[in-house]
Amino acid sequence: MRFEFATATRIVFGPGTVSEAAPMAMALGQRPLVVMGREPSRAASLLDGLASHGLETLTFAVAGEPTVGRVAEGTALARAAGCDVVIAMGGGSALDAGKAIASLLANGGEPLDYLEVIGRGQPITRPSLPLVAIPTTAGTGTEVTRNAVLGSPEHGVKASLRSPLMLPTVAIVDPELTYNLPPAITASTGLDALTQCIEPFVARKANPLTDAVAREGMVRAARSLRRAYENGADMGAREDMAVASLMGGLSLANAGLGAAHGFAGPIGGMFPAPHGAICARLLPLVMATNVAALQAREPGAAVLARYDEIARLLTGRPDATAADGVQWVEELVAALHIPALGTYGVAETDFPQIVANSQLASSMQGNPIRLSDGELTAILSEAL
């Protein structure tokens, strides 16, 4: 057995902990770049705190999912202003943009120098600028992952900058920041968190540490996601989902993912579909397809027992089987009103390109069994 486990240098979790961001940043640098999401007003208290500590900040908003061009623009602005620390606050898009900018400021060059698949794939050799990551959704776990996903409209795909040197210096996870999330975002991000606990648990690089973290994440998401969706003011449910999201990030960063995320990058690059909603729609279909493929081609595989364990964790039933787990996820996806892929413009004529791109995705390589083009096409047909 050999495995690694790497994460942010420091993780601070708890209600109200966002108030600690300013003194933490002050210890790391004197000229912060603050990367924010589509609602900059949500960062008002952070900016006030930084100002009260005498820090002159440069702000940079990322309204949608980050693109190669937008990250290059933010990097150029920060370099010209002499920024020496990055604070990223928002959903996964803002955090990914902040992580990419912090890495480029330290390593030089442009995103395409380092991007997988569509870029030159050069290795990142220097640690990122000090980075404080503050999520405002409970879904991506990006605050503790070692990659940043960027879209390239020119190529019609999303690809990652990836290196252990990109891990944030500090991750501040404050459940209070998620209290006002609307139900639709609670649903899509929460199901992304659940996916990021399930897929690493059956991934090829699963290990004892990620197993323990993923199990806890699944239990918390199973008992609290629907509650958070139905009542955003349920503080216990919001805290559970913040923990589940964090644990999903810890798990995926160290064990990898699977076919649901293998699809998500290409689909998200081709269509205006939220990442979490794509993963949610595909998750039960991928689970069912993986189980069927394993039973048919590798009936003795140990990972089949893990699908039974997932079912027990999700349902709370000691006699639950993999099929029960798939049904439980299907029912949750329906209850949270996750739309079909066709809602975003996906059509059958797009399937060959999606499948071809998905087979190249790094997440697809972590799937517990290699799925054929036909199996992947069947998943898309059911998700349409």
CA dihedral 294, 299, 302, 304 (to 10 degrees): 50
The DSSP bridge pattern shows strands 10-13 and 170-173 to be parallel
Helix (H, G, I), strand (E, B) or coil at 9: coil
CB atoms within 10 A of CB 126: 12
Whole-model pTM?
0.95
What DSSP designation does 13 have?
E
Is the Cβ–Cβ distance between 368 and 294 less than 8 Å?
A: yes
Decide if 176 contacts 125 (C-beta within 8 A): no
pLDDT at 276: 92
Distance, C-alpha 141 to centroid of its chain: 5
Instruction: State the pLDDT at residue 328.
Output: 98
Residue pair 11/64 in contact (Cβ under 8 Å)? The answer is no
Amino acid 42: pLDDT? 83
How deeply is 65 buried, as exposed, middle or buried, from its count of CB atoms within 10 A (0-12, 13-18, 19+)? Answer: buried
- pLDDT (0 to 100) of residue 155: 83
CA 354, CA 366: separation in Å to the nearest integer?
Answer: 18
Q: Taking a C-beta distance cutoff of 8 angstroms, is the pair 112, 68 a contact?
A: yes
Distance, CA of 140 to chain centre = 3
Q: Supply the pLDDT for residue 290.
A: 98
Q: How far apart are CA 383 and CA 293, in angstroms?
A: 18
SS (HEC) of 121-154: CCCCCCCCCCEEEEECCCCCCHHHCCEEEEEECC
Nearest to 148 by CA among 136, 165, 134: 165
Tokens linked to 284: 């039960």
Task: Give the separation between CA 66 and CA 104, rounded to whole angstroms.
Answer: 14
Nearest Cα to Cα of residue 118 among 165, 66, 154:
154
Q: What is the pLDDT of residue 159?
A: 85
Q: In this predicted structure, what is the pLDDT of residue 243?
A: 98
Query: What is the pLDDT tens value at each position of the chain, 384 positions in all?
Result: 899 899 999 999 999 999 999 999 999 999 999 999 887 788 888 999 999 999 989 999 998 889 999 999 999 999 999 999 999 999 999 999 999 999 999 999 999 999 988 888 899 999 999 999 999 999 899 999 999 999 888 888 888 999 999 999 999 999 999 999 999 999 999 999 999 999 999 999 999 999 999 999 999 999 999 999 999 999 999 999 999 999 999 999 999 999 999 999 899 989 999 899 999 999 999 999 999 999 999 999 999 999 999 999 999 999 999 999 999 999 999 999 999 999 999 999 999 999 999 999 889 999 999 999 999 999 999 999
**What is the spatial distance between Cα 168 and Cα 149, in angstroms, rounded to a whole number?**
15
Angle between helices 259-270 and 373-383 (to 10 degrees): 70
